[in-house]
């Protein structure tokens, strides 16, 4: 679907020469959506981020630099003055006879590299290094509201063959039939699977909505299968294709409605649907990890529990892995099992291990320890945890290459 004709691009310094002052001159909130890329390293970066926040109704953190700090974030291992000296004075490539830190026309360095959401409120994230075109298109299509929902009168329960004592909700399984529109012919519940909301909201809710509300009230007690259903629901109900790598951080839906300028079909929802959506959104806002439950391994074509076994850790340049077996089992550090899905398994398809650019699935302090636990538990690995970790020379550069600046649990820096 062509999206460009529907857009009015008003500021894009890297591509079209709209000057900074033209952005400053706009009234606050004048721009519907801002895509902001890059990690923040200077006072000027921070000023620009705040300016964009003021001028845009919605902010999308665009790319892994903006979402997580990316590889530059590894600089947070060192004090800023050490980093400046290294760059301007100590680097081997410097040929100036009296190398020194420049003082004129400098933007002013901050102590740490930070991702965008450390400085301003972010409404949605598109990670990836680089982001996938599909994620960009799905974000724009979502914002344009190009897939209308039927919004029929009745909720899906009216058409469900389990609308009796076999109802999934009544048996403690998350099912969104009570707030989803009728009209689908696939009917997931015919196969015993819950409704995940792909027909969008209905005008009225079914009498099972209270049970759904109860489950959402206790959202942090959902089973992992129900969490996956919730993730699918969010993607479908909110009109965002699954696995697009386009993560809503919370109240983007409400903001669009309040501003009233974007075309969204999700208006005039029943109060029960509003309440359930709000609870989910609030939970997501407070628990960003929650949606990050599918990993790159889920989209990787390679065989896990293959005929290969890791007996030593190989560097990427050692040997040539076969194209079929899991790369961990062939001895390589592949970050797939601890990396958020969204890329479709890009690197493994060209015989390279995942290095984690879509961001980690959990934000614990010691990512190296977590990785070793996950690898040893889920894959053919004939090494102890200590053996595996001692064979990896650069723990931060390997296990938090893209995300160190985002990991609040990391307190390092010399």
Q: Pick the binder of ligand SF4 from 66, 138, 189, 229 (CB under 6 A).
A: 189
Kindly indicate which of the ranges 104-112, 221-229, 241-249, 339-347 contains the residues binding ligand SF4, using the contact rule CB under 6 A.
339-347
- What is the torsion angle, in degrees rounded to the nearest 10, for the CA atoms of residue 349, residue 355, residue 356 and residue 357? -80
Task: Give yes or no for residue 144 binding ligand SF4 (CB under 6 A).
Answer: no
Give the closest residue to 194 by CA, choosing from 218, 170, 214: 170
- By beta-carbon proximity to ligand SF4, the closer residue of 250 and 342 is 342
> Residue 383's Cα: distance from chain center in Å?
32
Give yes or no for residue 347 binding ligand SF4 (CB under 6 A).
yes
56 near ligand SF4, rule: CB under 6 A: no
Q: For residue 271, what are its two tokens? A: 């109060």
Contact 236, 196 (CB under 8 A): yes
Q: Looking only at residues 358 through 397 of this chain, which bind ligand SF4 when binding is defined by CB under 6 A?
A: 358
d(CA 388, CA 36): 38
Q: Is 230 in the site for ligand SF4 (CB under 6 A)?
A: no
Residue number with CB closer to ligand SF4 (183 or 345): 345
* 155 vs 234 by CB, closer to ligand SF4: 155
**Could you tell me how many helices (H) and strands (E) the chain has, helices first?**
13, 6
233 near ligand SF4 (CB under 6 A): no
Q: Which of 140, 230, 300, 383 binds ligand SF4 (CB under 6 A)?
A: 300
Going by DSSP bridges, is the β-strand pair 246-248/124-126 parallel, antiparallel, or unpaired? antiparallel
126 and 62 in contact (C-beta within 8 Å)?
A: yes
Residue 63 in contact with ligand SF4, rule: CB under 6 A: no
CB of 286 to ligand SF4, least distance (A): 25
Task: List the one residue from 59, 302, 361, 407 that touches ligand SF4 (CB under 6 A).
Answer: 302
CA distance 207 to 40: 49
> Which of residues 33, 46, 83, 348 is near ligand SF4 by CB under 6 A?
348
Residue closest to 64 by CA, chosen among 403, 299, 414: 403
CA distances from 305 to 120, 322, 361, 386, 412 (A): 44, 14, 22, 22, 36
Among 175, 284, 333, 383, binds ligand SF4 (CB under 6 A): 175
Please report whether residue 168 would count as binding ligand SF4 according to CB under 6 A: yes
- Is residue 313 involved in binding ligand SF4 (CB under 6 A)? no
Applying CB under 6 A, does 169 fall inside the site for ligand SF4? yes
177 interacts with ligand SF4 by CB under 6 A: yes
Q: Which of 46, 71, 75, 162 binds ligand SF4 (CB under 6 A)?
A: 162
Does position 327 bind ligand SF4 by CB under 6 A? Answer: yes
Yes or no: say if 160 and 26 are a contact pair by the CB < 8 Å rule. Answer: no
Q: Which is nearer to ligand SF4, 56 or 269 (CB)?
A: 269
H or E segment at 110?
strand 109-114
Those residues whose C-beta lies under 8 Å from the C-beta of residue 274, and which sit 6 or more positions away, are none
For ligand SF4, the closer of residues 140 and 157 by Cβ is: 157
Stretch that binds ligand SF4, among 40-48, 74-82, 246-254, 345-353 (CB under 6 A): 345-353
Cβ neighbours of residue 203 closer than 8 Å, sequence gap 6 or more:
151, 152, 153, 154, 181, 268, 270
Question: Least distance to ligand SF4 from the beta carbon of 202, Å?
Answer: 11
| Element at 42 (helix H, strand E) | strand 40-42
Q: How far is CA 394 from the centre of its chain?
A: 25
Binding mask 245-274 for ligand SF4 (x = CB under 6 A): ------------------------------
- CA angle centred on 328, ends 323 and 334, rounded to 5°: 95
Task: Return the residue of 33, 59, 281, 354 that touches ligand SF4, per CB under 6 A.
Answer: 354
Taking alpha carbons only, the member of 203, 113, 109, 186 closest to residue 152 is: 203
Q: Which stretch in 111-119, 196-204, 264-272, 340-348 sits in contact with ligand SF4 by CB under 6 A?
A: 340-348
- Which residues form the interface with ligand SF4 (CB under 6 A)? 156-157, 160, 162-163, 167-169, 175, 177-178, 189, 194-195, 206, 208, 296-297, 300, 302, 304, 326-328, 334, 336-337, 339, 343, 345-348, 354-358
């Amino acid at each position: 679907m062509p999206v460009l004709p529907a857009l009015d691009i008003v500021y894009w310094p890297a591509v079209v020469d709209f000057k900074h002052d033209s952005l400053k001159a706009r009234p606050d909130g004048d721009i519907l959506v801002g895509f902001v890329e890059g990690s923040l390293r200077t006072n000027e970066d921070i000023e620009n981020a705040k300016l964009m926040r003021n001028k845009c109704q919605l902010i999308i953190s665009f790319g892994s630099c903006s979402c997580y700090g990316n590889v530059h974030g590894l600089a947070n291992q060192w004090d800023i003055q050490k980093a400046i000296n290294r760059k301007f004075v100590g680097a081997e490539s410097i040929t100036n006879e009296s190398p020194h830190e420049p003082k004129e026309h400098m933007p002013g360095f901050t102590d740490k590299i930070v991702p965008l959401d450390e400085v301003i409120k972010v409404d949605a994230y598109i990670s990836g290094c680089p982001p996938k075109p599909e994620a960009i298109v799905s974000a724009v299509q979502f914002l344009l509201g190009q897939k209308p929902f039927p919004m029929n009168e009745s909720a899906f329960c009216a058409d469900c063959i389990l609308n009796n004592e076999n109802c999934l909700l009544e048996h403690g399984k998350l099912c969104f039939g009570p707030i989803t529109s009728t009209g689908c012919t696939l009917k997931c519940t015919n196969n015993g699977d819950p409704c995940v909301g792909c027909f969008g909201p209905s005008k009225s809710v079914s009498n099972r909505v209270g049970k759904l509300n109860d489950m959402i009230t206790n959202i942090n007690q959902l089973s992992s299968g129900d969490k996956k259903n919730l993730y699918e629901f969010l993607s479908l109900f909110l009109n965002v294709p699954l696995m697009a790598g386009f993560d809503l951080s919370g109240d983007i839906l409400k903001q669009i409605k309040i501003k009233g300028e974007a075309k969204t079909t999700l208006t005039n929802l029943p109060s029960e649907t509003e309440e359930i959506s709000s609870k989910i959104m609030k939970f997501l806002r407070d628990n960003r990890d929650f949606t990050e439950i599918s990993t790159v391994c889920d989209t990787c074509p390679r065989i896990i529990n293959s005929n290969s076994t890791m007996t030593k850790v190989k560097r990427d340049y050692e040997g040539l892995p076969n194209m079929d077996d899991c790369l961990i089992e062939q001895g390589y550090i592949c970050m797939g099992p601890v990396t958020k899905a969204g890329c479709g398994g890009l690197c493994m398809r060209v015989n390279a291990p995942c290095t984690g650019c879509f961001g980690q699935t959990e934000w614990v302090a010691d990512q190296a320890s977590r990785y070793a636990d996950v690898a040893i538990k889920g894959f053919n690995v004939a090494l102890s945890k200590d053996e595996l970790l001692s064979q990896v020379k650069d723990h931060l550069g390997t296990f938090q290459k893209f995300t160190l600046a985002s990991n609040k649990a990391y307190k390092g820096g010399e």
